Structure formats: structure tokens, C-alpha cells
Amino acid sequence: MALKTTPAPASTAATSAGPKLSAKAERFTESVIREMTRLALKHGAVNLSQGFPDFPAPAEIKDAAKAAIDADINQYAITWGAKKFRDAIAANFERFQGVAVDPEREITVCCGSTEAMLSAMMAIINPGDETVVFEPFYENYGPDAILSGATPRFVKLHPPDWTFDPDELAAAFGPRTKAIILNTPNNPTGKVFERAELETIRNLCVKWNCFAITDEIYEHMLYDGARHISLATLEGMRDRTITINALSKTYSVTGWRVGWAIAAPAVTAAIRKVHDFVTVGAAAPLQEAGALALQMPASYYETLAREYLVRRDRLLGILTGAGFRCFKPHGAYYIMTDISAFGFPDDVAFAKYLVTEIGVAAVPGSSFYRDPAEGRHHLRFTFCKKESTFQAAAARLAKLTR
């Protein structure tokens, strides 16, 4: 898991006699998700752990990146994003969510949504501030809170539908609340937050005068009629929402590291300052290609969702057949499972067995919870994979016995 349950030792030394390391960095581990990818490579396992497609990115987007390099768009872009790309982000947000934003004052292009989230948090958090985080959560949000100095208050999403109890949510808000972090469509649960739920969240944000930071990178991966609603579209939320998104998932370019944050001008000014001194800027030629990507026709997004639906159902079939109890996702590209039937002591032991003995990598559920015990019956699989990967996974998982 990413968060350590024991507090950092008072003295964090590189060696017994060496200089001290950061106490903040001592409070979390390396990413379990990324570690599972390394283990998959080491053991030659089929990698259903980390969420990156193993099929090619669209040819026209790759061509645009190559053309941008050839056209010598190879120097620093404007720190907060190339104008052409910011214009395309604004047009895309208006096209899909109907929200008009000013690309000159309300958008910051970052190195992936990962940097956008951390820069946004560092731009708004003061000592003593709290953030409300739904649990299970995408593991980065734990270290993000530590690095920015926020104290997370976790609110459960309850299986099987991953709903939250409005009273539990209300109890997590208070005078110290600076922001709620919302990821919809959600990793790891596949939940897509509905309008009534978003209204409950909105009412609390307004009541306690706090921000919402929304991670919407799976906005186009929707199944079973689910609809993605940006929190910024709700009355009273436009100027208190920081909307985060990226090229990574929608255009199958997770390695490009291009994302962005959309926020009201004063908030954007603070995010831009943090971003500038953390990374200066995102890759210039890839922003050029991103401008083209964001203008893809409606058919691109329809095909994307349709193909992911086929992959979801394919993996659901494989996992169910192998004895996993699956929580059917309505968005994003992960399947949370219940592994109780296999009789292992916990999720980490089972994940290790799977990767070393069966040859399939998945992510232990505990990495999505503050208390590892709460995720011990879960394992998360991703389905952003090609058919041959599913075939290999199916053949290997058939060896599992209950």
C-alpha cells in the first residue's frame, strides 16, 4: 500500500550516520500499482495491473506528434500550456460538458493529471487544512495529501454499488475542510457518480465554502448507459471546482505525460506558479498533437466506449469463470473483485501467488485503502488490453483452483 500505517520515525537518516531524509517521504511507500508492473516484467506475467493500454495509440495522433517534432516545435512551450492546446482544451470542455472557460486565465497544462492534481493541491492547501477523499481511492491521493500538507478525511464507498452514505459524507466536512477529491468515473471501483450524488457533494462544498478537485480522466469510458457529469456544471460549482483531465487514457498515450487543470482565474494563477517551479512545462510537440486529439470527431469517442465495453465483458467473463466475484464497473477500465473464495490470508499474498505461480499480475485491494485490512478481500484487474492478452490471461487463470 502507498500509505504507511506507522508514523515516520523522528529521525529519518539515509544511513545511521548520514544526513536526514524528508519525514514526509518516509510516510508513504512506492506505488504498489507500478511495483506490480515491475513484478509482472520480472516473472513474465500477463500484466493486468497498471492501467495502460497494450494496443497502439491512434495513428493520426502519433503522426501529429512526429510532424510537430519535424516542424521544430521542440523548445519550451508557454509554461501554462501552448495556446493552441489550451484553446483546444477549452473547446473540448465546452463541447462535452457545456462549460465555457477562458483558455488565457483558466487552464494550466501539466505533466499528466498526476502533476495537475499535486500542483492544484499545493496551490490551495495550508497547514491544518483537510481534504475529503472517497475510499477506496486511487493510491496517488494519499501521498498527494502528505506532500501538500493536507490531512485526508476518508469516506467509504460501499460495495456492491459503491454508494456513499450522505450522513457519513456530511460528517467528514467541517471548518477545516479545504477540498473534496472526486474521481468519476472512478478508479478502482468503476463507479460513475450520478447527478443526485453530485448535488449532495455540491451542497456540502457550498455550505463549507471549499473546493472540489475532480479527476475526470476516464470521462469517455462509460457503459450501461452511464453518463459522465462534471461537477463544474452544477450550479454554484463552476468557480470552486478544479477540473483535472489528461490525454493519457482517452487517447491511449499514458507515456506522453500531458494533462491539465481547469479552474477559476485566481486559482489558476496559484496553480500556474506551483506548476512553473515544479516542471516548467509539459512536452511541447505532444501538446501540439494533443490539440488535434481533442478535436477528434464524435465517432472516435463512441468507438472508444464501445470497444472498452467489449473488453470489460471479456474480462468479466474470464474472471468470473476463474472463480472471482466481480463488481461490474459502469465506467473507467478496471474490475474490482472479491477473492474470498480462494482462501488466501490476504490480497497481497494472493497477488504474489498470482504473479509468481499463475503468471497474471493484478493490484492488491489494500493499496486503495488507508487501513490495508479493509482491502484484503479485493484485487483489481484492468481491461485496457488487447485480445491476445486476454487469451493469455484466460489460459493462465484457468489453472487457479478454489
Ligand X SMILES: Cc1ncc(COP(=O)(O)O)c(C=O)c1O
Give the residues lining the site for ligand X (CB under 6 A): 51, 112-114, 138, 183, 187, 215, 217, 246, 248, 254, 259
Smallest CA-to-CA distance from 377 within 347, 348, 349, 355 is with: 347
CB-wise, 34 or 95, nearer to ligand X? Answer: 34
**Measured between alpha carbons, how far is 34 from 29 in angstroms, rounded to an integer?**
11
What's the min distance (Å) between Cβ of 51 and ligand X?
A: 4
- Please, what is the minimum distance in Å from the beta carbon of residue 197 to ligand X? 17
Q: All 3 cell numbers of residue 328?
A: 461490474
Nearer to ligand X, 112 or 285 (CB): 112
Residues paired with residue 101 on neighbouring β-strands, in sequence order = none
Pick the closer one to ligand X by CB: 164 or 342: 164
* Nearer residue to ligand X within complex by CB, 190 or 396: 190
Q: Which three cell numbers, joined as nine digits, stand for 28?
A: 508513504
Between the alpha carbon of residue 365 and those of residues 113, 186, 233, 248, 376, the distances in Å are: 22, 14, 32, 23, 6
Q: Which is nearer to ligand X, 378 or 396 (CB)?
A: 378
β-strands 211-215, 151-156 pairing:
unpaired
**199-230 residues labelled b (16+ CB within 10 A) or e (exposed):** eebbbbbeebebbbbbbbbbbbbbbeebebbb
CB of 382 to ligand X, least distance (A): 9
Closer CB to ligand X, 173 or 333, in the complex: 333
| Residue (187 or 367) nearer to ligand X, CB | 187
Pairing of strands 177-183, 130-135: parallel
Using CB positions, name the residue nearest to ligand X: 112
**CA–CA distance, 97 with 230 (Å, rounded to integer):** 7
Least separation, in Å, of the C-beta of 48 and ligand X?
13
Give the residue with the Cβ less far from ligand X, 254 or 337.
Answer: 254
| Nearest approach, Cβ of residue 365 and ligand X (Å) | 15
How far is residue 228's CA from residue 97's CA, in Å, rounded to a whole number?
9
- At residue 166, what are phi and psi to the nearest 5 degrees? -55, -35
To which residue does cell 506507522 refer?
6
Nearer to ligand X, 256 or 350 (CB): 256
| CB of residue 366 to ligand X, shortest distance in Å | 17
Looking at the Cβ atoms of 53 and 103, the one nearer to ligand X is 53
Q: How far is the CB of 207 from ligand X (least distance, A)?
A: 26
Quickly count: other Cβ atoms within 10 Å of residue 14's Cβ.
Answer: 9
Report the distance separating Cα 120 and Cα 133, nearest Å: 15
Q: In the structure grid, which three cell numbers stand for residue 22, read together?
A: 524528508
Q: Which residue has the cell 519525514?
A: 23
| CA-to-CA dists, residue 126 to 64, 106, 147, 151, angstroms | 41, 22, 12, 10
CB of 114 to ligand X, least distance (A): 3
Least CB distance to ligand X at residue 101 (A): 19
Which single residue is written with the C-alpha cell 469463470?
Answer: 321
Minimum distance from residue 184 beta carbon to ligand X (Å): 9
DSSP character at residue 101: -
Distance CA 354, CA 45 (A): 9
